[in-house]
Amino acid sequence: MLLPLLAALAAAAAAWPGCEPARGPAGGCHRPSASDSAMCVDLQLQACSDAAYNQTAFPSPLEHRSREALEASSEYVLLSVLHHLLEGQCNPDLRLLGCAVLAPRCEGGRVRRPCRQVCERLREACQPAFDAIDMAWPYFLDCGRYFGGEEEGCHDPLEKLRGALDAEEAPPSGPPPTFLHFTHHSYAQMVRVLRRTAARCAHIASTYSIGRSFDGRELLVIEFSSRPGQHELMEPEVKLIGNIHGNEVAGREMLIYLAQYLCSEYLLGSPRIQRLLNSTRIHLLPSMNPDGYEVAAAEGAGYNGWTSGRQNAQNLDLNRNFPDLTSEFYRLISSRGARTDHLAIPQHYWWGKVAPETKAIMKWMRTTPFVLSASLHGGDLVVSYPFDFSQHPHEEKMFSPTPDEKMFKLLARAYADVHPMMMDRSENRCGGNFLKTGSIINGADWYSFTGGMSDFNYLHSNCFEITVELGCVKFPPEEALYPLWQHNKEPLLTFVEMAHRGIKGMVVDKFGKPVRNARVSVKGIRHDVTAAPGGDYWRLLPPGSHIVIAQAPGYSKVIKKVTIPARMKRAGRVDFILQPLPAGPKKFLQGPRRSSPGLQDPLEGAGPSGEPLGARRQPENSGGKPWWWAYFTSLSQHKPRWLLKY
């Protein structure tokens, strides 16, 4: 993948040897002395075409005296391929930061250096990705040498990525709008709408990023809660995700509309919406695959093919890119006493190609105790639920239920039963082939596949996720968006309210402190949930009588019988106070295993041999150099040895 790109750039490399750290004092390049004036020229570097400025000056701080010399340098080559080397991590941040050094900003005849604080924050976040591929931090990104302070008028090279409201535009004010604009939203428009919505409802909403796509677009989430930005005890967390396949755009638009609707209805005093947002923390990720969307949008509604833009920029299907924990579940289910929930991610998974979008979702799940989730797709009209992978791998269609089959059917029906088109009795309509099953289906009974997001949610965390197919047209025309919203508004709200079904409570010790590694099990359902760090837990359950058990290592079990009425729409409160086991030999209950003994967890920052969530270690070559070194050796006689750590 890197060889063609590097080969093209290497042809010109001999024209200029670049600047080696060893040739300058203290191991760095000579930096020109500060000058009161410089000749600004147009910035014509392809790798820096999206910089926040359009003029630079030569010679550069690395003594490149022309654009041609800079383009032939190993520093520029590194910037051009860095997002491939790091598999999308820290892209485009590092590239733009490097551009600000190699081709500094020039305004009014003066050169402005990038801000030191920006460099320091980025190095802290991205250093593990370099460590994972045994690459040294590039010398020209030395925060102390090539960056300046605010007192000297430095600039932020990442300012275009901030996506804030225009400086000249006041935050929205006045009464909330009572109408929505039913149109397709580009990436920039989507970001703008979400940020403006959060600004209008700042007391109940905020936006945050869970990471970036391979091409560097923010995976932007808008959350709604009575206390945005923090988890509240016994308040369930719900996530809705759209556009996992870039050409399936209806879910993206539905979540953009839902965000505006929640904000407006709350401000207008809707009792239902106020009650929902005051008791639930809702996270909306309209586009999990913004790169794929750009490919699909270039063709446009009505012209998009069945697959154009489906994958991410790495040509990966994100809904086939998650760890296959379902196979492990099937292996363990026959073993008496084996844990079949909160399964660890296999270490070999990290040696494959894992998309940055997939990693972002997994890390998001690790940091937020989600209870309920829905992934919005397009291409049919049905609600499917786990498992998506058949118990017999060679069976393309086979009913493969989870231990929570009854609850998953309730969740699926909560959506389908209030969707007017899913309840239409015509067999000739979109989704008519699912009429006999009430427009819901077990995923593997529809078609079996591995690496899906819903199976991973259920087997790796406490979260129950369903998949909603919103219609047969993947990229509907704009005139179809209003009817789609009318059909899905009530199902979306009803589904989110399902987070309050079952039981919730606290698991504490006799002093009222949260019990570490506590888990809650239900007799007859081989799937436990774990308590959050604060001691609160949620267990989605269907109506009926259940035997519920709370337990933790070093504590005695507590068993309670609970009855959930059929019409109960608010989770019942069931608390547990665990007593420590008496002194003496103790039988410790094994908690959920995140990784094998002696191996670090990639989602916690480092994996086997130290690889972080964000880079894939590859074998070293026979010469003892890192695997990527061979691609740089043909650049010139001045090889970038500053990239070697040893």
Residues 331 and 358 in one domain: yes
Cα dihedral 226→231→234→237 (10° resolution): 80
- Count of the separate structural domains present in the chain: 3
> What pLDDT, on the 0 to 100 scale, is given for residue 588?
46
Residues 327 and 285 in one domain: yes
pLDDT tier for residue 585 given thresholds of 50, 70 and 90: low
**Locus of tokens 């996992």:** 244
> What pLDDT, on the 0 to 100 scale, is given for residue 172?
60
> What pLDDT, on the 0 to 100 scale, is given for residue 638?
67
Tens digit of each residue's pLDDT (9 = 90 or more) over 587-610: 544 544 444 444 445 565 433 323
Mean pLDDT of the chain: 86
User: Closest Cα partner for 366 from 236, 495, 517, 210?
Assistant: 210
- Is residue 350 in some structural domain? yes
> Is the separation of the CB atoms in 32 and 24 below 8 Å?
no
> What pLDDT, on the 0 to 100 scale, is given for residue 177?
59
Q: Is a pLDDT exceeding 50 seen at residue 16?
A: no
Residues 286 and 506: their CA atoms lie apart, in Å, by 32
> What pLDDT, on the 0 to 100 scale, is given for residue 168?
39
Q: Is a pLDDT exceeding 80 seen at residue 169?
A: no
- Is residue 14 in some structural domain? no
> What pLDDT, on the 0 to 100 scale, is given for residue 394?
84
Residues 89 and 207 in one domain: no
Q: Is a pLDDT exceeding 50 seen at residue 15?
A: no
- For residue 93, the domain's CATH number is 1.10.2000.10
- For 387-415, what is the mean pLDDT? 95
User: Does the global pTM surpass 0.95?
Assistant: no
> What pLDDT, on the 0 to 100 scale, is given for residue 606?
35
pLDDT tier for residue 376 given thresholds of 50, 70 and 90: very high
- For residue 228, the domain's CATH number is 3.40.630.10
The residue ranking higher by pLDDT, 359 or 159, is: 359
Residues 308 and 380 in one domain: yes
| 497, 513, 533 - which closes a domain | 497
pLDDT tier for residue 636 given thresholds of 50, 70 and 90: low
What residue ranges in 461-616 does DSSP mark as E strands?
A: 464-471, 503-509, 519-522, 525-530, 536-539, 544-551, 558-564, 572-573, 576-578
Residues 488 and 531 in one domain: no
> What pLDDT, on the 0 to 100 scale, is given for residue 173?
58
- Is residue 165 in some structural domain? no
Residues 464 and 62: their CA atoms lie apart, in Å, by 53
Task: Look up 469 and say whether it is catalytic.
Answer: yes
Chain-centre distance of CA 487, in angstroms? 27
Residues 430 and 287 in one domain: yes
> What pLDDT, on the 0 to 100 scale, is given for residue 138?
93
Q: Give the range of the structural domain holding residue 199, as residue numbers without chain letter.
A: 189-497
> What pLDDT, on the 0 to 100 scale, is given for residue 108?
87
Residues 510 and 560 in one domain: yes
- Is residue 32 in some structural domain? no
Q: Is a pLDDT exceeding 60 seen at residue 451?
A: yes
pLDDT tier for residue 38 given thresholds of 50, 70 and 90: confident
- Is residue 590 in some structural domain? no
Q: Is a pLDDT exceeding 90 seen at residue 162?
A: no
User: What are the residues facing 106 on neighbouring strands?
Assistant: 111
- Is residue 230 in some structural domain? yes
Q: Of 469, 478, 611, 620, which one is the catalytic site residue?
A: 469
Residues 403 and 284 in one domain: yes
- For 400-427, what is the mean pLDDT? 96
> What pLDDT, on the 0 to 100 scale, is given for residue 27?
43
Q: How far is CA 356 from CA 37, 147, 528, 529, in A?
A: 42, 28, 29, 27
> Is the separation of the CB atoms in 568 and 538 below 8 Å?
no
- For 564-583, what is the mean pLDDT? 92
Q: Is a pLDDT exceeding 70 seen at residue 35?
A: no
Tens digit of each residue's pLDDT (9 = 90 or more) over 332-346: 998 988 999 999 999
**Locus of tokens 């190699």:** 102
Tens digit of each residue's pLDDT (9 = 90 or more) over 75-133: 898 888 888 788 777 888 889 999 999 999 999 889 999 999 999 988 988 888 888 78
| 565, 580, 595 - which closes a domain | 580
- Is residue 625 in some structural domain? no
> What pLDDT, on the 0 to 100 scale, is given for residue 614?
38
Q: Is a pLDDT exceeding 70 seen at residue 159?
A: yes
> What pLDDT, on the 0 to 100 scale, is given for residue 152?
87
pLDDT tier for residue 584 given thresholds of 50, 70 and 90: low
> What pLDDT, on the 0 to 100 scale, is given for residue 622?
42
Residues 256 and 382 in one domain: yes
Q: Is a pLDDT exceeding 90 seen at residue 479?
A: yes
> What pLDDT, on the 0 to 100 scale, is given for residue 33?
42
- For residue 572, the domain's CATH number is 2.60.40.1120
Q: How far is CA 179 from CA 68, 182, 188, 260, 556, in A?
A: 54, 9, 21, 9, 56
When mean pLDDT is compared across 350-359, 406-415, 439-448, the lowest value belongs to 350-359
Residues 109 and 211 in one domain: no
- Is residue 68 in some structural domain? yes
Q: Is a pLDDT exceeding 70 seen at residue 31?
A: no
Q: Is a pLDDT exceeding 70 seen at residue 540?
A: yes
| 447, 464, 497 - which closes a domain | 497
Tens digit of each residue's pLDDT (9 = 90 or more) over 63-73: 899 999 888 88
Backbone phi and psi for residue 470, each to the nearest 5 degrees, phi listed first: -90, -10
Residues 123 and 193 in one domain: no
Residues 265 and 167: their CA atoms lie apart, in Å, by 28
Q: Is a pLDDT exceeding 80 seen at residue 534?
A: yes
- Whether the CA torsion 538, 540, 546, 549 is positive or negative: it is negative
Tens digit of each residue's pLDDT (9 = 90 or more) over 250-292: 999 999 999 999 999 999 999 999 999 999 999 999 999 999 9
Q: Is a pLDDT exceeding 50 seen at residue 1?
A: no
> What pLDDT, on the 0 to 100 scale, is given for residue 412?
98
Q: Is a pLDDT exceeding 50 seen at residue 231?
A: yes
pLDDT tier for residue 504 given thresholds of 50, 70 and 90: very high
Residues 241 and 337 in one domain: yes
> What pLDDT, on the 0 to 100 scale, is given for residue 630?
78
